[in-house]
DNA sequence: GTCTATACACCGATAGAC
DNA sequence: GTCTATCGGTGTATAGAC
């Protein structure tokens, strides 16, 4: 894909540019990453496909920009969540939302085959883990360095992973065992820190 | 998509039919489900794209057939795994393989937008859980009906979910916290049933 | 800033030759 | 059983009008 680019490119703070990123998420949730075409994305916000190439060099650039915008939003939501009275449960809840989980699956699949998205995902994962880690360590009085068996990083990873899987399954209509697992996790979390988890 | 079908269809036990399903998995792992086209799949096993329409009515039929074949293989591998000395760890290990996890992510994303694959996935999930459940309940002496906090279904779901997430992350190169979480899970499993988990 | 027009490649699916 | 030939539709990307 060689680009012969002396094309004009629109402003970063443009409304339409943001609309196109909204379109990426809409299409991804409704139809999956395979349907992320300039025609579908632009069409979903009432525009023609050529507008994509006014704001972005390639479709991939639009997708990467959308991923970054969402990553920043998720980090913010997690930071808000863990500032609440029961941060561990909030950490779980953020990941467990089905619509959020469905998008996560799409980007995860994309990351397996697209180098740019893979790099962004690894980077995002590291930032997320750090945010969760500080919270868990501070609230639980558990070693951050992994010297004990119950480490902050193991707990953070376990909580967000289980939340995410339950969200992914719920999104496609699998519910078996979810209630029981949720009860078990709440039980563990409460046991680990009284009422503040 | 209206099919005007008085087409000939090849035998179910044909070698080529199996080759095409191998091609589906190859392409899915290497390029993702978005690249599951008749040309790419047939090409990956050295054939022309029209052969797909000799063995299957539509591309979707080929993908569903591939999913079913794999589902049956996975169920078999899980049954073998839980017959081993440490079934809980084996249950984890089956899900944690990165190549396996990558395919799982693809099919999961596909399930979000394709009704046939969604149905197959729900069905497969139920069968998997049942297989795991019997094993866990028998080995742990833990209630199957969810009457206790530590129920067999919660444990089964937790083990396979955590294994799967670690596999998915490993596939794209995220490893932070994996060692610690693995140690925590092994510790819990050992605690739950001495040396036989 | 958004459009029409256009290029060329690839898509699923069918018909029919061998 | 696998192929060549072909259909209409959609894909990315560019050029240039308004």
Chain B positions touching A122 (Cβ under 8 A) are 172-174
% of residues, chain A, pLDDT over 70: 93
Q: Mapping DSSP to helix (H, G, I), strand (E, B) and coil, where does residue A134 land? A: helix
Res B131: pLDDT: 87
Q: Mapping DSSP to helix (H, G, I), strand (E, B) and coil, where does residue A36 land? A: coil
Q: For the CA atoms of B165, B167, B168, B172, what is the dihedral angle to 10 degrees?
A: 140
Q: Which nucleotides of C are covered by protein (CB under 7 A)?
A: 1-5, 10-16
Residue nearest to nucleotide D11 (CA to C1'): A37
Decide if A85 contacts A196 (C-beta within 8 A): yes
**All structural domains of chain A with their residue ranges:** 7-57, 67-196
What mean pLDDT comes out for the span A49-72?
98
Residue ranges of A 39-68 with Cβ closer than 8 A to chain B = none
What mean pLDDT comes out for the span B164-181?
96
Mean residue pLDDT across chain A: 91
Lowest mean pLDDT among A22-31, A83-92, B168-177: A83-92
Residue nearest to nucleotide C11 (CA to C1'): B37
Lowest mean pLDDT among A78-82, A152-156, B87-91, B136-140: B136-140
Nearest CA in chain A to B178: A154
CA nearest neighbour of A67 among A44, A36, A91:
A36
User: Is the CB of B177 inside 8 Å of chain A's CB atoms?
Assistant: yes
pLDDT tens readout for residues A24-48 = 999 999 999 999 999 999 999 999 9
Helix/strand/coil percentages in chain A, nearest 5: 75, 0, 25
* pTM of the predicted structure, to 2 decimals: 0.95
Res B150: pLDDT: 86
Tell me how far apart the alpha carbons of residues A30 and A8 are, in angstroms, rounded to a whole number: 31
Res A178: pLDDT: 95
Burial A161-193 (b: 16+ CB within 10 A, else e): bbbbbbbbbbbbebebbbebbbbbbbebbeebb
CATH for the B7-57 domain, from 1.10.3720.10, 1.25.40.10, 3.10.450.50, 1.10.10.60: 1.10.10.60
pLDDT tens readout for residues B123-172 = 999 999 888 888 777 777 776 665 678 888 898 899 999 999 999 999 99
pLDDT tens readout for residues A123-143 = 999 999 888 888 777 777 776
Res B195: pLDDT: 47
Res A96: pLDDT: 96
Decide if B174 contacts A121 (C-beta within 8 A): yes
Residue ranges of B 105-164 with Cβ closer than 8 A to chain A = 105-106, 108-113, 118, 121-122, 125-126, 129, 146, 149-151, 153-158, 161-162, 164
Q: What is the CA radius of gyration of chain A?
A: 19
Of A151, A168, A174, the CB nearest to B122: A174
Token output for B122:
């729900």
Of A151, A161, A181, the CB nearest to B154: A181
**What is the DSSP code string of B46-93?**
T--GGGHHHH-SSHHHHHHHHHHHHHHHHHHHHHHHTTSSSHHHHHHH
Chain A positions touching B157 (Cβ under 8 A) are 176-178, 180-181
Res B33: pLDDT: 98
CB B5 within 7 Å, strand C: yes
pLDDT tens readout for residues B60-112 = 999 999 999 999 999 999 999 888 888 888 889 999 999 999 999 999 999 99
């Amino acid at each position: 894909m060689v680009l012969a680019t002396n094309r004009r490119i629109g402003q970063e703070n443009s409304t339409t540019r943001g609309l196109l990123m909204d379109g990426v998420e809409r299409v991804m949730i409704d139809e999956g990453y395979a349907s992320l075409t300039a025609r579908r994305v632009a069409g979903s916000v009432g525009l023609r496909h050529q507008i994509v190439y006014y704001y972005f060099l390639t479709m991939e650039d639009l997708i990467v920009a959308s991923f970054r915008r969402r990553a920043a939003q998720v980090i913010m939501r997690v930071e808000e969540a863990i500032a609440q009275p029961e941060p561990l449960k909030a950490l779980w809840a953020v990941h467990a939302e089905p619509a959020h989980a469905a998008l996560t699956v799409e980007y995860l699949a994309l990351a397996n085959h697209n180098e740019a998205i893979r790099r962004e995902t690894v980077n995002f994962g590291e930032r997320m883990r750090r945010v969760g880690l500080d919270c868990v360590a501070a609230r639980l009085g558990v070693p951050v360095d992994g010297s004990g068996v119950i480490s902050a990083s193991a707990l953070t990873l376990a909580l967000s992973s289980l939340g995410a899987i339950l969200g992914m399954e719920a999104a496609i209509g699998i519910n078996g065992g979810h209630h029981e697992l949720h009860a078990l996790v709440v039980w563990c979390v409460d046991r680990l820190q009284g009422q503040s988890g």
